[in-house]
Structure 1
Amino acid sequence: MTELAPAATGSRRPWTEVAAPVRAAVEQFLGAPVIEAVSQSGGFSPGVAARLRLADGRRVFVKAVDWHTNKHSAPMHRAESIVSKGLSTVAPVPELLASFDQDGWVLLLFADVEGTQPEIPWRAEELDRVLAALAELAEVLTPAPVRVPDTQVKYERIFSGWRRLAANPDDRLDPWALRNLDRLAALESGWPAAAAGNTLLHGDLRADNLLLTADRVVLVDWPHACRGAAWIDLLGLLPSVRMQGGPEPEPLFRAHPVAAQADPDAVNAVLAGLAGYFTHGALQPAPPGLPTLRAFQGAQGVTAVEWLRGRLGWP
């Protein structure tokens, strides 16, 4: 069994650090003061992520980031706002109640979801629920009901890990990857055409972006939404499932409805892009506020490379 990876956690900021005028605007919109804010640890955002309890007993969920100190997360929050507005009536996603972009802060306010993240190590029955939800979601989101970037545009820069490593090899790579760097780089270069499709994809599926309620699976955190082949979300999820104690990816992928018509060469090219992204990313310095990100990427890279190696059969 693959060793479990570090938890997906960022350095959360408390609700009280949000600019006072923004907090006041939130309370005015909600019509009640916030009397409790409980930070949520899952996920890699370095900003605020908290469940708020109001004086009248209602609960809401808030995400916020100070764009002066985190210029990468602010555009992601804005992108998530656009996607969430378009999806809340067609897909199992939290309802976006409001968004605020003022005083240096970008803040999203969602209806609170009474649910829990999948248990880690993965339990078979919970994984079955998630896999069934992905099949249903692919039907609902094809054709894409919201205008989002194509996968080729969204991941053009980051799905180039093997090509970067081939240009500048790193002796920390495992021997198989080092032996096959040029072949991996060539395979990776074909991923844009292989990823083409008309399904709206989440783009970053992991256990910490899933909530299991009594009757449904809710997908949260949509800043990476893009349009592509219906099987890409499944392919992106399975390496993290494996690294967090779940089954090997290949049998799950082959048995899943969204992969039934997937061209094997296309799958290999996109999987190469994903594996290269994780492998290259894990070798970079840790970004501010995300202390476990590189180790988490490294663990996903190990499982993605193992999966790719098994599919390719290269020595």
Structure 2
Amino acid sequence: MSEEPEAADLANRPPQAVGVRAPWAAVPAGLRAAVEERLGAPVVAADTQSGGFSPGVAARLLLADGRRAFVKAVSEAQNPESPGIHRSEARNAAGLPAAVPAPRLLACFDRDGWVVLLFEDVEGRAPVLPWRPAELSRVLAAVGDLAALLTPSPVDVPPVAEKQAEAFRGWRTIAADHAAGRDDLAGLDPWAAQHLGELAELEAGWAAGAAGDTLAHSDLRADNLLVTADGRVVVVDWPWACRAARWYDLLLMLPSVRMQGGPPPQRLFDTHEVAAGADPGAVTAVLAAFTGFLLGHARRPAPPGLPTLRPFQAAQGRAALDWLRTRTGG
């Protein structure tokens, strides 16, 4: 068989959230021993999981007694911000109620510049991409279940305005850099460049629009979801959790769904239960801020240890911008 169809399929494949993971063997021997001590058995096999962007270790562990666990470990040498992100994840995971479909935190510790998290292992797989309608429907239903379960927030986390105060300034940052001669807008979507001032103004109202008392995951994407054989949807990776509007998680997820072969976001958002009664102006302002975050960060150099992040943000940002143009009549 010719190789051309395979190459074409690869070229048309939806963008994947796949980083450059360190293997289990990269963890210093003393830390590996500490993991085994906490788990109560030696590790006999480690299967690296490629999903997600952290440069650290993310692996399913098989123990000598047949049990399994999941380990995440990272050091400042791999990325200076990643240890703090892992610590936030540990705090949030420890506070999640048992009813939340998320892996239970077994242990966490800091040592020698590393942060190590141990979770229960979940037997599941990431959603199939491009998205399949039935599986997407199951995930969207799970988003509604989460919002119901997590309102009011059962975990003490910051409000979204505090959590994203610096991140959601993308359009204003681009506009300021352009005015100062630091950004010539090369590569920016022509419609966005033409309406930069309006987008910056629209973005400025995002915090009031996103306010709420639902515990939001804030990073729902296919790579942070597991589908189990019995049909459950399990949500992993909670470092960005905050208190926000019931529809906040849905809004942030839908551009990635579109980017990875799903339907237009507007239709999914308008028909979802968590969006019922949402103020249209608030939704548009938050979408503008999220779009500016994605496209603004995509213009920056790649962070240390995360070479695949910027192209993924750019693709997700283009999908978000299409939706924003629809909402603003652009």
Query: What TM bracket, shorter-length normalisation?
Result: over 0.9
Partner of 2:30: 21
2:214 to 192, 195, 199: 199
Are 2:97 and 2:154, in contact at CA under 8 Å, matched by a contact in 1? Answer: no
1:254 to 232, 256, 270: 270
The amino acid that maps onto 1:118 is: P
1:61 to 58, 64, 70: 70
For residue 73 of structure 1, report the CA deviation from its aligned partner. 0.6
2:316 to 300, 304, 307: 300
The answer to which of 135-144 and 81-90 deviates more is 81-90
Partner of 1:269: 285
Which runs of 5 or more residues in structure 2 are unaligned?
Answer: 1-11, 179-184
- Once residues 253 and 200 of structure 2 are traced to their aligned partners in structure 1, the CA distance between those partners, rounded to angstroms, is 22
The amino acid that maps onto 1:235 is: L
For residue 215 of structure 1, report the CA deviation from its aligned partner. 3.1
Output aligned runs, 1:173-188, within 5 Å.
173-188=188-203
Task: Label 1:233 to 1:271 Cα distance change in 2 as closer, same or farther (>3 A).
Answer: same
1:115 to 124, 134, 140: 124
Are 1:206 and 1:237, in contact at CA under 8 Å, matched by a contact in 2? Answer: yes
Matched, 1:284 2:286: no
Matched, 1:102 2:118: no
For residue 47 of structure 1, report the CA deviation from its aligned partner. 0.3
Output aligned runs, 1:231-246, within 5 Å.
231-246=247-262
After superposition, the CA RMSD in angstroms is: 1.1
The answer to which of 100-109 and 62-71 deviates more is 62-71
Are 2:215 and 2:244, in contact at CA under 8 Å, matched by a contact in 1? Answer: yes
For residue 156 of structure 1, report the CA deviation from its aligned partner. 0.7
The answer to which of 90-99 and 284-293 deviates more is 284-293
Are 1:88 and 1:94, in contact at CA under 8 Å, matched by a contact in 2? Answer: no
Partner of 1:49: 58
CA offset digits 1:161-181 (Å, max 9, x no partner): 101111223121111101100
For residue 30 of structure 1, report the CA deviation from its aligned partner. 1.5
Are 1:88 and 1:95, in contact at CA under 8 Å, matched by a contact in 2? Answer: no
**Matched position secondary structure for 1:168:** helix
Are 2:215 and 2:242, in contact at CA under 8 Å, matched by a contact in 1? Answer: yes
CA offset digits 1:286-312 (Å, max 9, x no partner): 112212111100001101000000011
The ranges of structure 1 where at least 4 consecutive aligned residues each deviate by more than 4 angstroms after the TM superposition are none
**Matched position secondary structure for 2:143:** helix
For residue 128 of structure 1, report the CA deviation from its aligned partner. 0.3
The amino acid that maps onto 2:200 is: A
The answer to which of 85-94 and 109-118 deviates more is 85-94
Are 1:13 and 1:47, in contact at CA under 8 Å, matched by a contact in 2? Answer: yes
Are 2:15 and 2:259, in contact at CA under 8 Å, matched by a contact in 1? Answer: no
The amino acid that maps onto 2:247 is: W
Partner of 1:80: 89
Which runs of 5 or more residues in structure 1 are unaligned?
Answer: none
For residue 182 of structure 1, report the CA deviation from its aligned partner. 0.3
Partner of 1:223: 239
